[in-house]
Structure 1
Amino acid sequence: MSGEKKSTVRAAERALDILLCFVDKTQLGMMEIAERTGLNKSTVFRLLATLESKGFVKRNQYTEKYELGFRIWELAAHLNQSDDPAVLFLPEMERLRDELDETVSLYIRDGKERIRIQAVESNQAIRRVAPIGARMPLTVGASSKVLMAFADSKLVQEVLAGSRWPDHISKVNYLQQLKTIREDGYAMSVEEREAGTAAVAVPIFSRRGRLVAALAVSGPVSRMNMDKMIQFVPDMLEAASKMGKMMKD
């Protein structure tokens, strides 16, 4: 590859890195973007100017910070959503939320992390949930354990051997948990990822048996004890079955 082509690819990668900074924040200052990407200020300034000229970012006139521009939404409007779980499953998630009166979330695995791709928040006054788009490790949490329990053994071994594995979690006990989850069809967690919260999750499989996502119900531990979460499981499994049948494959 020529030097000019390498430079072009690098510039494209850096521009994409800047856009990815907005996954978990709606507005960012130039210095924040530089810190997140590891790029120097002058490079960030030039790339932001280019992205702004193309409509991918815009600068808020009041805060002087950058946010995603209209071109992002134009592209998103043309996504093929006919088999997108976040779109397909939303009505059933809303029905489940109304039935159980707790927050319902949808997680998929991306590499060695899980991503919250959809959520329907509880109408309860007290609730605490991660934002849509939030990335979390596969080591803790009910949804993580569901995604791991039905993953291939190679991935499980890679996660177990990874540098992000928490020292306080026994790998032997964790593998036993995954076995139990496969047998029972659901996972529970109490204050594993965040203090004061509990969650129960079930897998969603396509018609052909492919693991599509993890369906989770979460809330404060004051409302969601073990008995309550077990009571949720039949309704969750029924909802997961309906969702799986919506998938083409």
Structure 2
Amino acid sequence: MEEEKRTVRAVERALDVLLCFVSGHEWGLTEIAGRVGLHKSTVHRLLATLEDKGFVIRDAATEKYRLGLSVLELSANLSRSDDPSVVLLPEMERLRDELNETVSLYVRDRAERVRIQAVQSMQAIRRVATVGARLPLSVGASSKVLLAFAEPGVRAAVLSDAAWPSNLERAAFGKQLDDIVAAGYATSFEEREPGAAAVSAPIFNRSGKLVAALSVSGPSNRLTPDRMHEYAPAIIESAHRMGTILG
């Protein structure tokens, strides 16, 4: 039993090392050790194993690590038939062309939201959305959608988490989520960063399960509160079509 626990812990640590590359192209040994909270000697052994299996590559000149070809080989075998980031891309492009703003798709991963797909606006001044970006659930239109329409236990767990920002009153935020459910969409105006605004609607599959949040974002001087409310019906309709596509 003890040997089994050690094996699982080693796998978790190796996966933590790989997950560092979600937020960076390359990392040094000391940087990775700091991010995963492990001693450098432990991380060095993990990296040596991952390098041997082709999951990371070490640059001899810079002594930094980056992802290896084994990651690409695995991703090539992902099922594309039920991947929302692939299946919903044509509808996202259609919505982008209709509203001429950046369109993003978010899913919840524990206490964060992750952008899994984005279609950039064609306008010269636009919101540039990075696929793979992780953001907190405490701020932003899509975050509020992912919490508002989540199962009650999920919302309660996130709002009661000790990591919840102290400047956000939980009861008031919960009331805001109730209002979002009633409206069917959420907006944010310069909440996460100055000059940015977004409007988001939930995507449900045919069984009524929340799958993702569809978001349209842009500069706040163009995507004003009035304009966001004007766009909301089109975004809700597009989200409904996406749910039908997903089945």
Pairwise TM-score range, normalised by the shorter structure = over 0.9
Q: Are residue 68 (structure 1) and residue 67 (structure 2) matched?
A: yes
Partner of 1:201: 200
Q: 1:37: Cα distance to partner?
A: 0.9
Q: Are residue 215 (structure 1) and residue 227 (structure 2) matched?
A: no
- % same residue: 59
- Identify if the C-alpha distance between structure 1 residues 40 and 192 changes in structure 2 by more than 3 Å, giving closer, same or farther: same
Give the SS at the match of 1:193.
Answer: coil
Q: How is 1:165-176 mapped onto 2 (pairs within 5 angstroms)?
A: 165-176=164-175
CA contact 1:108–1:214 (8 Å) conserved in 2? yes
- 2: CA distance between counterparts of 1:9 and 1:185? 42
Give the SS at the match of 1:107.
Answer: strand
Tell me the C-alpha RMSD between the 2 structures: 1.7
Q: Mark the runs of 5 or more structure 1 residues left unpaired by the alignment.
A: none
- 2: CA distance between counterparts of 1:205 and 1:6? 38
Q: 1:63: Cα distance to partner?
A: 3.8
Partner of 1:137: 136
Partner of 2:14: 15
Give the SS at the match of 1:237.
Answer: helix
- 2: CA distance between counterparts of 1:207 and 1:6? 40
CA contact 1:24–1:131 (8 Å) conserved in 2? no
Q: What amino acid maps onto 2:215 in structure 1?
A: A
Q: What amino acid maps onto 1:150 in structure 2?
A: F
Give the SS at the match of 1:20.
Answer: helix
Q: What amino acid maps onto 2:228 in structure 1?
A: M
Q: 1:62: Cα distance to partner?
A: 5.2
Q: What amino acid maps onto 2:89 in structure 1?
A: L
Partner of 1:108: 107
- 1: CA distance between counterparts of 2:18 and 2:140? 28
CA contact 1:102–1:124 (8 Å) conserved in 2? yes
Q: Are residue 92 (structure 1) and residue 112 (structure 2) matched?
A: no
Give the SS at the match of 1:49.
Answer: helix
Q: What is the TM-score of this pair, normalised by structure 2?
A: 0.93
Give the SS at the match of 1:98.
Answer: helix
Matched length:
247
Give the SS at the match of 1:104.
Answer: strand
- 1: CA distance between counterparts of 2:124 and 2:61? 32
Q: 1:27: Cα distance to partner?
A: 1.1
Q: 1:154: Cα distance to partner?
A: 2.1
Q: Mark the runs of 5 or more structure 2 residues left unpaired by the alignment.
A: none
Partner of 1:159: 158
Q: 1:201: Cα distance to partner?
A: 0.2
Q: 1:124: Cα distance to partner?
A: 2.5
CA contact 1:200–1:217 (8 Å) conserved in 2? yes
- Identify if the C-alpha distance between structure 1 residues 15 and 161 changes in structure 2 by more than 3 Å, giving closer, same or farther: same
Q: What amino acid maps onto 2:53 in structure 1?
A: K
Q: 1:107: Cα distance to partner?
A: 0.7
CA contact 2:102–2:129 (8 Å) conserved in 1? no
Partner of 1:225: 224
